[in-house]
Structures are given as structure tokens and as C-alpha cells.
Structure 1
Amino acid sequence: MPRTTTSDRTKISERLLGKADEFPAYFELYESLVAHGSAHIIQIDQPRESDSASHDDILWIVELLKGNPRVTWAELNSQVHEQNLSSITTSGINKAVNIAVQAMIMVDCAARDRHSTTYEVDSYRPISWEPSEPFLDFVQRAFPRDSEGDRRRIKQALRNRYILKAWKLKKRLGVTFRMTDNLMEHLLYDSHNQVLYLFHQTAFLKAHLKRSSAHLAMECSLEESLKLGTVPPQLLVETLHSLQAVLFPILDDKSADILVRLTKKMGFDDDCNQYDGYMRFKEPPEDFTYHYWGGRLARLEELVIRREPRNKLERWFRWYTTDVNALAIALLALAISIVVGLIGIVISSIQLWIAWEAWRYPVAPPV
């Protein structure tokens, strides 16, 4: 299948990212999406086949989603089939919608179909856009906000973010960093395999944040954001902040070295190394907190603090520093103090009795 041309990329980047630029990592993903599973999902300047769609079709579907974020999967498929793409099969339309959603907001809306029914990572299970579900509701499920009950844990994790630097996670938890193009999987930690998934498309995040900052307030609703073709600025800022201020802070050389290796050898977006701020502010205000990734950040902090000991010495220290054992040791120390006190009282009493007897019955000095 022919790759996108320069004019195709210019049009796509202008419509979906707000400016005509190269975006190499983004278009590497886009090319893989259109080629995945079939050689005929997308084709350019060729007769249309029964299972094909063009780049213009993808952009048109994005406009439908922006125009009505409450459209259901079934309604969108019907509109696509009836209005513009009637020659494409249902399978082709499904693929085109999947590509449009991921190109628009970096969410795989058929993620559940790509995993087994038992697949689960740290309470996360992939979801898909249901046929009768409004697009808005699907995206809300994809990005649930942290509960109020987690506020304290999240604030503590942000205060302790110095222990969440990439090199410390690697040293203390043996973490391997793996990139993901599905924004839903950002900061997802697979403790079984010691893998931390990171959404690496920072050029995409910055482009969307720049677009949204001109039209949306930080606390805008999800529906307002989708009408602009993006996710809420708060979510964009948190994702960038977690990467460039928590895991890979600019002044931390050890973490920076890890990031360089990830970009050069593991396929991370080269833009990850460009610390040009979060577009909204240079440094978060004092009251800045997470509303989307806070729970996962707090989970990481908890794992670092309470990680399983790796050797006998660490197990010994862990045993003597746990709350339960600290209480047991304190009680044992109290018991010993009581016993020593009683022995001291007994000895003092004996000494007092001896002194009393010596006073009552003094012994005459020898002549």
C-alpha cells in the first residue's frame, strides 16, 4: 500500500494537529494504523476496493465526531455508510473509524478486541467503544477522573515525586520503560513483568495543548474539548508533566540518560527530549494537582516505598521497620523495662533490709 505523500501529511497535520509540521513519531503510528491487519484499509490514487478508505475519509470521520461528540458507534457507522462511503464494507468502515479516533485523540477504541477476556494489568482492563454508546461516554470511560478519596494520596505522591525519577524506579523496582501509543495506558505499571507503560507522543501532546490553550479554559468540559478535536487541557498537561517533571526532570542527568536511550533505541518520540514547557505555564502553581493520572502516580509512589525486599538484609530491615513489628518491639522493650524495674526494687529492698538489720544489731569492733 502506498505511504502518505508530503501533501497528505501536510493536510493531516494541519487538520488534526493544528499546524503543518513533520511529526515523525505521529506519522509512524499513522502509517502502521492504516497498514495494520489489511493491505487495503487506506489507499491513495487507486480505484477504491470494497474494504478501503482514503485519508480524506478519515479526516471526514473526525469532523463527524467533532460535530457531534454524542454520536454512538452505530449511528456513526450508519452515517459513514449512507452519506459518503457507501461502497466500503462494514469491516472497512469499522477500521476507518478506529483509525480516525486514534488519529484524533490517541485512543484505541477497539482495544478490548485485541486482548483476551482475562487480560488485566493492575486493575486496568482494555475497553472498546460499544455500538449504542455515545462517543463522549466512551472517552469518559477511557479517562476516569480520580476519586475525591484519593486526593490525599495524590498530593503526597506529588510532594514525593523526587523518588519517582526514572533512574530511581529502575533501581528500586527494576522497571523497564515501554512506549505506548494508546493514551489510556499512560503510567500503567505491570508489576508482574516490571514494565511501566508511557505515552511517548509528546509532539502530539504539545500540538494539542497549543490548540486548546487558544480556545479552551484549563477546567473545560470533555465535550467542549472533543468539539475542538482534542482531550481536556488538564489531561494533556498532566501527561506532559508526568514525563518531563516527574519521571525525566530536566536537571536530573541519570534520568535524562535513560530518556536518550529510550528515544534512540526504543522508538520513543525524539520530541520527549525537548523541554519547552507545558504551553500553559512554566511551572505548575501551588494548587496544581492531578485529576486523571494521580491514582497511577500514587500507586507508583506506594510501590517504591513498600517494594518487596530483594535479599536477606533488606527482609531483616523490612521486618524491623514495619508498623506491626515496631509495636511488638516497643511492647517487648516495655516489658523488659518493667522486669528490670522490679528487679531493681527487689535489690533496693534487700539492701534497705540489710542496712536496717545492721543498725538494729550493730557488731562490736574487735578488741
Structure 2
Amino acid sequence: MIPSYELLYPLAKVSRSDFAKLCVALWEWRPCADWIAERACQHGYLDPACRCQDAERLGPFFEFYRETTACYIPELTGDSPQAVKTHDDLIHVIQHIKLHPHIPRLQLTTEYFAACTRVGMLDVPSNDQNRAFSLAARVMTMLQSCVEDQCDGLLEAGTQPAIWHFSKSFNQFVDCVIVRQYPLRLGPYSVAIPQYPKPTFTLESLSVKKLRRVAKLKLVPTNDLRDHLALDKKNGTVAVYHFTSVLKEHLRAGRERELHDATGMNTQLYYGLPKQLVLETLHTLRYVLFPLDSESQSILRSLVAKDKFDADNCDVNTSWQLREEELIAYEYWGSRLVDLHDELENPTPRGFIETWMERKSGARYIMMATLAGVLIAILLGILSLAVSILQTWITWQQWKHPNT
């Protein structure tokens, strides 16, 4: 018997009510009933507690969630139940991870599905358990992840996933991915931001208009934070993680965690990505790639319209504020900013003519070019001598035979 579409793709359909529950699970706030019912919000700006405006800004993230969960296929083995049948099940996994971010993955998974068994479910296949927790981690961090023995499919699809090992907790997984993918570098790679002294280079030179005009680079969107500012010289592209609406929610959660620390409250819960990484990413989008000049903003609006960049990037009156003590240098993205700067200084040749000229401009051709110049000079000298001899002969003939 062929499984039904709903059985093969249990998360293919998602409602606004599911999005509202997701906001509660990730950031502990809920849009009002008007937004869930797709009605005009009656609160407007009169009620500061209403989060409909925030929910509207998160439209691109909800679309990412829709596309990511729609691809989830459970392990259909005999009569074994699915790890995730509904979006509520996935949200419960997310909440479980947030409540126990310091527990190793194997223990975390075992305890969660042991509790499911106690309430009447049979044993869920281990592959499906791991697939469900990897999907939850993907939604929480927007980092492509998998367990050790389940990365084959992603590798075949051309994606290099981050491995969440059985022995690592969720917090350790996030830290491990961040440190491995964006190693903290000192010296010239720790690029100072403009208002601080002795920057390695001027960050204004890396705006989107100069990347397009000078280096002929194209900006392409990515929903994997690890790929932000990754330069592909062969294809002439720069990947941009553009979900500023999500980054702002992580930043807000991080600042709430700081308040909890100040009041002595328990902060073992997972609140989001490292604040330094979030700040740097927001800063690269707002002040480096898309400064407030008219040309850069025009390109940004075009990217939003044509390439589905997060429209929140266009919000000039942003709700997040950068404090001077929060960001002094680019510790994570510094090396990639240097790569972009080097590409601007020495652009990779594009097209046949530029590539041909680049090949001919190597040091190995200097002697050949010099020799060719000498030979051309000799040839011109011989031709000039021949012309002079011819002119002299003609003049002599006219003098010798004046009447002819």
C-alpha cells in the first residue's frame, strides 16, 4: 500500500496558529488573535504589548520554516510511529531542547522519547528521532545540522552540514559550529569598525555598489548563517544571510538574558546565537553592505523585490541599537571582509577578454614581451632604412635624368 501524501509529508501544511506557537517556543511572545485569524489588528500602536508588527516582520522566516519543514520525511518502518506527526510535535521538541541545552544529545533524545512512550506511544525508530532533533536545531539556529550517521543525503545534495554529535549538548553544538566555522582571529583579520582607530581598511569600500561595480560580484541570498559573506570567485557571487528580523529577535533574547544575569535568575536556558555574532552580522548588513546612500538602498530594494531578501533590511528606523561597548571589532566576519577587500583590490577576471589578458599579464611573459618589443623596433628600423634608401634612389634618378 502506497502511503498517503499526509503520511509522507506530515508537516507540508502550516497555519498561522502554528507560526504563533513557534514564536512562543523560540522567543516567548505570541501574536494577537487578530493576526492569527488574518484580520486587521485592533490594537495598532496603542498597545505596546501587541506583537503583530513583529510577526509581520518575520514573514521571510515563516516562509523559511514552511519550506524547511515541508521537506521532512519520517522513517516509515512497519507499524512504528512517527517522531513528528504535526507542527505541535516539532515545537515540543524545540521546547525540550531549550529547557535542557546542557544535556548531551543522546541523553536528550532518549529522555524525550522515553516520556513519549510513557504516554502511550510505541518506540520511535532512532533514525526518525535524530531526524526530528536535527530539524528542530535547524529551525532554532538556521544552521544546517545532522547527526554523525545521517549526513549522506545532505552531502549528496551539495550541502556540508554541521554535525551535532551524540556526546555534545545543544549549547556545545552551537559553540562548536561557531568556533569551527568562524574561528576567532587576531591581527589584521580582527577588522576594526569605522568609529574606532586604526582600521585595517575602510569598511565603506565594501558596499554593495562597489562590489558590483568594481569586482562585478553578485549578491545571492542564503538561509544558512554559516555562509554569510562567503565569496565564490569562480561564479562571482557573495552569499548574504539576510534575515535581520530573526537576528533582532536573537539580540533581544540575548539582552533579556543579560537582565536575568544581573538579577541572579537562572540562565541555563538556550536564548539564541552568540551576541557577538549577531551584532557583527547586523552591522555588516546595515553599515557595510547596505549603507544609507541612495544607490546602495536602491540595490537593496531590488534584492528584496527580485531575490526575496528580508524586507526588514529596508527598515531605516530599526528597533535594534548598537551600543559602543558591544562591538569593537569583527572577530567572526573579519577574515571574510578581508577576502572581499582583496577581491576589490585585485578583481578576478570575468569573461574571455579579461581572462585572456590576465593570463598574458603573468611574470613569465615579461621577457617575451620585452623581446617582442625589441624585434618590432628592429623591424621598424629596417623598414625605415628601406624607405630612406628608396627615396634616395628616386631622388638620384630624377637628378640624373631630369628630362625623362
TM-score by length of structure 1 reads 0.71
* Counterpart residue number, 1:12: 22
1:134 aligns with 2:169: yes
Query: How far off is 1:29 after superposition?
Result: 0.9
SS of the aligned residue for 1:143 comes to helix
Equivalent residue in structure 1 for 2:113, among 81, 103, 108: 81
Kept in 1: contact 2:219–2:239 (CA 8 A)? yes
SS of the aligned residue for 1:173 comes to coil
Deviation string 1:285-343 (CA, Å, 9 cap, x unpaired) is 69711221122112211221232456499869x989xxxx9xxxxxxxxxxxxxxxxxx
SS of the aligned residue for 1:215 comes to helix
1:227 aligns with 2:269: yes
Equivalent residue in structure 1 for 2:311, among 235, 248, 270: 270
* Counterpart residue number, 2:320: 279
* Counterpart residue number, 2:338: 298
Deviation string 1:87-116 (CA, Å, 9 cap, x unpaired) is 443333223212211221221113954554
SS of the aligned residue for 1:3 comes to coil
Amino acid in the other structure paired with 1:90: S
Deviation string 1:241-282 (CA, Å, 9 cap, x unpaired) is 101110011x22222122111111112111121133472427
SS of the aligned residue for 2:166 comes to coil
Kept in 2: contact 1:213–1:280 (CA 8 A)? no
Distance across 2 between alignment mates of 1:190 and 1:262: 19
Query: How far off is 1:226 after superposition?
Result: 7.6
RMSD: 3.6
* Counterpart residue number, 2:51: none
Distance across 1 between alignment mates of 2:355 and 2:62: 49
SS of the aligned residue for 1:66 comes to helix
Amino acid in the other structure paired with 1:290: Y
Between Structure 1 and Structure 2, how many residues are aligned?
303
* Counterpart residue number, 1:67: 99
Deviation string 1:211-252 (CA, Å, 9 cap, x unpaired) is 2222228x99xxx98824301221111111101110011x22
Deviation string 1:121-172 (CA, Å, 9 cap, x unpaired) is xxxx643212333323321232125444345652376741111001111122
1:149 aligns with 2:201: no
* Counterpart residue number, 1:90: 126
When residues 313 and 225 of structure 1 are mapped into structure 2, their CA distance, relative to the original with a 3 A threshold, is farther
Amino acid in the other structure paired with 2:107: E
* Counterpart residue number, 1:343: none
* Counterpart residue number, 2:45: none
Give unmatched runs, 5+ long, in structure 2: 1-5, 7-11, 32-54, 193-197, 367-404
TM-score by length of structure 2 reads 0.65
Equivalent residue in structure 1 for 2:64, among 29, 43, 54: 29
* Counterpart residue number, 2:141: 105
When residues 207 and 131 of structure 1 are mapped into structure 2, their CA distance, relative to the original with a 3 A threshold, is same
* Counterpart residue number, 1:261: 302
